[in-house]
Amino acid sequence: MATADMSVPGLERGIAILRSFSADRPYLSAPQIASELGIPRSTVHRLLGVLVGLDLLFRADDGRFALAPGVLTLGHACLASLDMVGVSDRTLADLRDQTGWSTHLATRVGRSVIYLVRHGSRAAVTTNIAVGSALPAHATVMGRVLLSALEPAELHSLYGGVDLEAHGPETPRTFEQLCDLLSTDRERGYAASAGYYERGVAAAAAPIRDRSLRVVAAINATGHAGAAATSDLPDITAAVLRAADIISARLGAPVIKRERPIVTTGEVVWA
């Protein structure tokens, strides 16, 4: 899936495409969209592919496009995310100050994670992921946390038969490899690694749950994966878990008792 096209300019164009549809015009062709929005046809085709992959559009038998049910799901998720943003923002800022790493809140739409909150590290060099960015869920630790909460049938509907794009050296390339990784994440209740999404970046992520214990979002802390950062990863992971518990409690979830995690060969495991 060509998620790389969903940068900030790509996101703006993607939203413009979605807004082109209406009750009076439920179906539009790619050339029609390109002409009305003044976007090159090649760019429109790439963006349409991304929007179809996100389940925000579907392609009809005649080749035209229409809004998909994911738009409604995204609307409901947006309303819910307003609460999550409000209750998590201060905690994520505190987590950034405590760890010195950038912190984020994200939710999942299809096979992508959408960033809702970002508190950038105060360090001179930091990760640069903007609010609204979409990254492949299978290639990020927050995505792994969110995917590990899915039922097997739902996971298969998303990734069964899909060739997974490689990012970091540990990114799974097959559905079977992804399932094995998510099984471990599900058992641990978090995901953490040095160099998973890309070399040189360490990250720890934990789920956000609502009062029904449903996973509704994830948070993370990310930093540069030098030797010092890797040795700090257990403490960073513990801090992320505590922050996730605070945010989840504000959404009505019960507090979970946890042990201290340790790091082994780039992955964080229970002590």
131 in Cβ contact with 107 (< 8 Å): no
> Would the CA dihedral through 42, 43, 46, 51 be positive or negative?
negative
* Boundaries of every domain in the chain: 3-68, 72-270
90 in Cβ contact with 99 (< 8 Å): no
Residue 164 confidence (pLDDT) above 70: yes
pLDDT, tens digit, 9 for 90 and up, residues 211-262: 889 999 999 999 876 655 567 788 899 999 999 999 999 888 887 666 655 4
Choice between 122 and 114, residue whose per-residue pLDDT is larger: 114
Residue 89 and residue 247: Cα distance in Å, rounded? 9
Average pLDDT, the chain: 82
| Torsions phi, psi for 111 (to 5 deg) | -95, 20
Threshold 0.85, pTM exceeds: no
pLDDT computed for residue 166 by the predictor: 79
Interval 111-137 mean pLDDT: 79
Q: In percent, how much of the chain has pLDDT > 90?
A: 39
Give the closest residue to 88 by CA, choosing from 109, 116, 114, 108.
116
pLDDT computed for residue 262 by the predictor: 46
pLDDT, tens digit, 9 for 90 and up, residues 16-69: 999 999 877 889 999 999 999 999 999 999 999 999 988 889 898 889 999 887
Q: What contacts 242, CB < 8 A, 6 or more positions away? A: none
- Region of 265 on the Ramachandran plot (φ > 0 left; ψ -120 to 50 alpha; else beta): left
Q: Which CATH code of 3.40.50.2300, 3.90.230.10, 3.10.450.230, 1.10.10.10 fits the domain covering 3-68? A: 1.10.10.10
Give the closest residue to 197 by CA, choosing from 178, 179, 222.
222
> Would the CA dihedral through 120, 125, 127, 131 be positive or negative?
positive
pLDDT computed for residue 263 by the predictor: 47
Interval 163-175 mean pLDDT: 82
pLDDT computed for residue 265 by the predictor: 42
Collapsing DSSP states into helix, strand and coil, what is residue 32? helix
Residue 44 CA: distances (Å) to CA of 6, 31, 33: 12, 8, 7
Residue 125 confidence (pLDDT) above 80: no
* Superfamily covering domain 72-270: GAF domain (3.30.450.40)
pLDDT, tens digit, 9 for 90 and up, residues 59-99: 988 899 998 877 766 665 555 555 778 888 899 999 999 99
Residue 124 confidence (pLDDT) above 70: no
Residue 217 and residue 158: Cα distance in Å, rounded? 18
268 in Cβ contact with 193 (< 8 Å): yes
Choice between 164 and 129, residue whose per-residue pLDDT is larger: 164
pLDDT computed for residue 72 by the predictor: 64
pLDDT computed for residue 260 by the predictor: 57
